[in-house]
Structure 1
Amino acid sequence: MSRPALEVADVFRSHGPAWRRAHAGHVSLDQLKVMSAIERCRTAALGGHVARCADCAYTSIAYNSCRNRHCPKCQGAAAKDWLADREADLLPVPHYHVVFTPPAAVADIAYQNKAVVYDLLFKVSAETILTIAADPRHLGARIGITSVLHTWGSAMTHHPHVHMIVPGGGISLDGSKWISCRPGFFLPVRVLSRLFRRLFLEKLMAAYAAGRLNFFGDHALLADTQAFATHLAPLRRSEWVVYSKRPFGGPEAVLAYLSRYTHRVAIANSRLIAVDEQGITFKWKDYRIEGHNRHKRMTLATDEFIRRFLIHVLPKGLHRIRHYGLFAKSACADNVARARELLTVAKPEGEPTSAAVDPNKPSCPCCGGRMIIIEVFARGATPRHQPTAPTNRIRIDTS
């Protein structure tokens, strides 16, 4: 894959030092670590290896990746590995995409209390959909959920929400049969929305009462109990957004969709257009507009671009992909096996794809031959071997 003309790493390398000096004392250690990782990713600073084709002697240099979960360059390989593990859990039924989005007033609280509120968003959205699915008036079944947290909108503003991928049915409460949802319809979103609202506000108030929420700056007044209650009061009457999309065509479509959602970061390198004295220009989608007109360009001052990227650095230890219900780790294998038995389908055979196509062992770009590692060099070192100079362009793997 060719390297994008512009990367977040380029912005950080050229403008990061000045930005860090200007904001010294106001940037968290986790944010500083993310900036450093992205700046050093796929460079000699992290070391790497030299590979040579066994057939034509073509030689290339590949630098190590930082493996940081916020790095735009590292998420492709991470997504492939994760999807390979998930493929065996996919059931041969329609799958639905459900999105839970708290109101802006809750997002404001989350901005200053990310670990607590993001965790609540995961747990409450899962409890909501599991509860309604188990209700005999709706589905009357135990379902499986894969939840993914996104904290951004297309313009990198703070917009926390949870994406769920859910099979269109579940195991009956007595475990005797598979119950499918109605064709094209999973669960009533208005019912989900009302329960989501009630449970979330209850648990948010409990977290506040337990002293787990902190407020500062423009929201310092919310430390007062009455002010906090007043802030939440309108939310008890407003409609909370729960959105259910049409079902996917099949397991392959689900995998393709998951590969685009599970390991996203605030902005992909492919969306960057230019950097100049005006700032950073990038592509974004205005979801308030229908059709092709929603595709737009935005230019942010470099300072603001870096700030927006870093507000999406997740708290240390917070998992952004979680599994609930039938897919909960403790009993996932047994539950999937039982579901397949009830659906009368066999367990997938061992996957040969990982052996046939290994992204860590690319073939020679010149002749397709096997590339063999002939040198491994340490962080900051210069490789002894030089890459082959092709007739048209040098190919050094820094994508």
Structure 2
Amino acid sequence: MIRLASIVGDFEADFLAQFGTRLNGDHLHALAAIRTCRGPASPMMQVQCTGCDHQKLVPHSCGHRLCPHCQHHESQAWLERQMQRLVPADYFLVTFTLPAEFRGLASARADVVLDLVMRCAWDTVRTFSQNDRQLQGTPGAIAVLHTHTRRLDYHPHVHLVVPAAAVDAAKQRWRRKRRTRKGTYLFNEKALAKVFRAKLLAALEAAGVRLPARYPQEWVAHCKAVGAGQKALIYLGRYLYRGVIREQDILACHNGRVSFRYRDAETGRLEKRSLAGADFLWLVLQHVLPRGFRRARNYGFLHANCKRLIVLLHLLLRFDPARFVPPRKLRPLVRCPCCGAVMMVVRTRIRAAPAAAVTDPPVSGVLF
């Protein structure tokens, strides 16, 4: 398997020479973190055998959310929290896409534009729910921002996992959409796109963001039924904390070019894309979000502050979300090379030692 860190090491100089003027502090921080992840230059932790007291140094992971080698545990923990908030209702995956004319603006003013995209997407869903005859209340939503296509091109869009239900706080009522022979219907896609467009344009102007000279009158929104919701959450959690590309999908790195595979959304077939090493690094690093930006958010009755309400709903509706929680994948144990016993961490964040002093290779699949 070809590591992203090794690609950074091979092409960093060319990348900085070609794209240096387009990089900000967040890009450079991500580049440095991925380059040193679990390598000799990363901080070390000391582990000690519980059987024979043998000690060794193991490199820390970088923990950056763009690094595909890190944050497996965080991704699983997020998914478990969302599964515990499931309610007995039909779920929908509502997607709002930012038009191509706004992508340059989103890249340059990501902290403002992408934040407003997520806020306006939720506000659109809330408005439709409050005006819906069957719901007439505040919905819940789990929103995740994606900035990439499967080809890794810059394509900001936000997904919202929305149950077809709402809470009327004034009347203390729980309402769900009625299921018909054709299934459950949530909202009209064209109407969603129209309202989202109006809300986002107004929000951008209020924030002092200059709009593009030209942009389409008709925007795109999708509303797809996703059953009980767990599969949609698994899909969204897959790329939440583990970068935009899996290292297993990097096929080759030679002759100054990098090749990776992706699955075509229309045909379902695996396709191959190959480009120069510096261009590949920009393809990945253009998806760095501003530090502190929350790309996963909970809204409405699925907000973290509504834990008591969720528990009450589960009790009254006799619904147990535990049956949807996937089995926890335990972190692999570090084994002693001398006796095979389990090694425990005794010290962390040790300043990196000279390369010659680190005799043990990084522990694959372990995150500390």
User: Which residue number in structure 2 is paired with residue 334 of structure 1?
Assistant: 308
Shift of 1:73: 1.1
Which amino acid letter does the alignment assign opposite residue 372 of structure 1?
M
Secondary structure at the aligned position of 1:70 is classed as coil
How many angstroms apart in 2 are the aligned matches of 1:348 and 1:57? 40
Q: How far 1:205 moved relative to its partner?
A: 2.7
Aligned equivalents of 1:314, 1:164: Cα separation in 2: 19
User: In the superposition, relative to structure 1, how do residues 177 and 58 fare at CA in structure 2: closer, same or farther (>3 Å)?
Assistant: farther
Instruction: Quote the offset at 1:50 in angstroms.
Output: 5.4
Q: Which amino acid aligns with 1:68?
A: H
Correspondence for 1:392: none
Q: CA 1:305/1:291 → structure 2, altered by over 3 Å: closer, same or farther?
A: closer
Distance 1:280 1:344 in 2: 52
Task: Find the counterpart in structure 2 of residue 231 from structure 1.
Answer: 214
Deviations 1:83-114 (A, max 9, x none): 33334322243332221112111223212221
Alpha-carbon distance change, 61 to 257 in structure 1, aligned in 2, over 3 angstroms: farther
Query: Is this contact kept in 1: 2:83–2:321, CA < 8 A?
Result: no
Cα pair distance change 1:205/1:73, threshold 3 Å? same
State the 1:53 CA deviation: 6.1
CA distance in 1, matches of 2:163, 2:64: 30
Q: Which residue of 1 aligns with 2:299?
A: 324
Distance 1:149 1:196 in 2: 15
Which letter does structure 2 place at the counterpart of 1:381?
A
Distance in 2 (alpha carbons) for counterparts of 1:156 and 1:347: 34
1:241 and 2:220 matched: yes
Question: Aligned ranges for residues 46-65 of structure 1 at < 5 Å?
Answer: 46-49=42-45, 51=47, 54=50, 62-65=58-61
Moved more, 274-283 or 86-95: 86-95
Q: 1:249 to 1:98 in 2, by over 3 A?
A: same
Change (3 A) 1:328 1:95: same
Q: Is the 1:278–1:299 contact (alpha carbons within 8 Å) kept by the matching residues of 2?
A: no
Any conservation in 2 of the 1:158–1:311 contact (CA below 8 Å)? yes
Alignment of 1:165-314 (within 5 A): 165-172=161-168, 174-181=170-177, 182=179, 183-207=183-207, 210=208, 212-213=209-210, 228=212, 230-232=213-215, 235=216, 237-238=217-218, 240-249=219-228, 251=230, 253=231, 255-287=233-265, 289-292=266-269, 295-314=270-289
Q: What code does the residue aligned with 2:259 have? A: T
Does residue 154 (structure 1) correspond to residue 145 (structure 2)? The answer is no
Which has more helix, going by share of residues?
1
- Give distance in 2, aligned partners of 1:305 and 1:281: 9
Contact persistence 1:148–1:320 (CA under 8 A): yes
1:73 matched to which residue of 2?
69
Letter of the structure 2 residue corresponding to residue 70 of structure 1 = L
Count residues in correspondence.
357
Structure 2 match to 1:216: none
User: What residue is the counterpart of 2:333 in the other structure?
Assistant: 362
Q: Which amino acid aligns with 1:298?
A: R
**2 CA distance for matches of 1:347 and 1:304?**
44
Distance 1:56 1:282, change over 3 A: farther
Deviations 1:301-324 (A, max 9, x none): 112111121211111222111111
CA distance in 2, matches of 1:264, 1:138: 39
Q: Which residue of 2 aligns with 1:128?
A: 124
Q: Which digits, 9 at most, give the CA deviation of each residue in 1:43-94, with x for residues without a partner?
A: 2322334556657999886421111121111131220232333343222433
How many angstroms apart in 1 are the aligned matches of 2:358 and 2:111?
46
1:345 aligned onto 2:319 = yes
Q: Which residue of 1 aligns with 2:99?
A: 103
Structure 1 residue runs without a partner (length 5+): 214-221, 223-227, 388-394
Distance 1:83 1:370, change over 3 A: farther
Q: Is the 8 A contact 1:146 1:324 kept in 2?
A: yes
> Which moves more between the two structures, 7-16 or 122-131?
7-16
Q: Structure 1 97/53 Cα, relative in aligned 2: closer, same or farther at 3 Å? A: farther
Q: In 2, Cα distance between the equivalents of 1:25 and 1:190?
A: 40
Query: Counterpart of 1:86?
Result: 82
1-structure distance, mates of 2:88, 2:50:
42
Alpha-carbon deviation of 1:340? 2.3
Q: Aligned equivalents of 1:278 and 1:49: distance in 2?
A: 35
Whether the 8 Å contact between 2:335 and 2:343 is mirrored in structure 1 is no
Q: Distance in 2 between matches of 1:139 and 1:175?
A: 12
**Cα 1:250–1:97, aligned 2, differ >3 Å: closer, same or farther?**
closer
- Closer, same or farther: CA 370–86 of 1 in aligned 2, 3 Å: farther
User: 2:244 & 2:358 partners in 1: Cα distance?
Assistant: 37
Amino acid at match of 1:305: F
User: Is the contact between residue 171 and residue 339 of structure 1 (CA under 8 Å) also seen in structure 2?
Assistant: no
CA contact (8 A) 2:148 2:156 kept: yes
Gaps of 5+ in 2: none
Which range moved further: 128-137 or 92-101? 92-101
TM-score (norm 2): 0.84
Aligned-pair identity in percent equals 26
Q: How far 1:40 sits from its partner (Å)?
A: 0.7
> Contact between 1:147 and 1:323, CA under 8 Å: does it hold in 2?
yes
- Contact 1:273-1:282 within 8 A present in 2 as well: yes
Describe the shift of the 1:372–1:92 C-alpha distance in structure 2 as closer, same or farther (beyond 3 A).
farther
| One-letter amino acid of the structure 1 residue matched with residue 245 of structure 2 | I
Instruction: Please report how far the alpha carbon of residue 33 of structure 1 lies from its aligned counterpart in structure 2 after TM superposition.
Output: 0.8
Q: Contact 1:178–1:343 at 8 Å: present in 2 too?
A: no
1:301-360, Cα deviation, whole Å (9 max, x unpaired):
11211112121111122211111111233x3213313432442336869x9x77xx642x
| Aligned-partner SS, 1:273 | strand
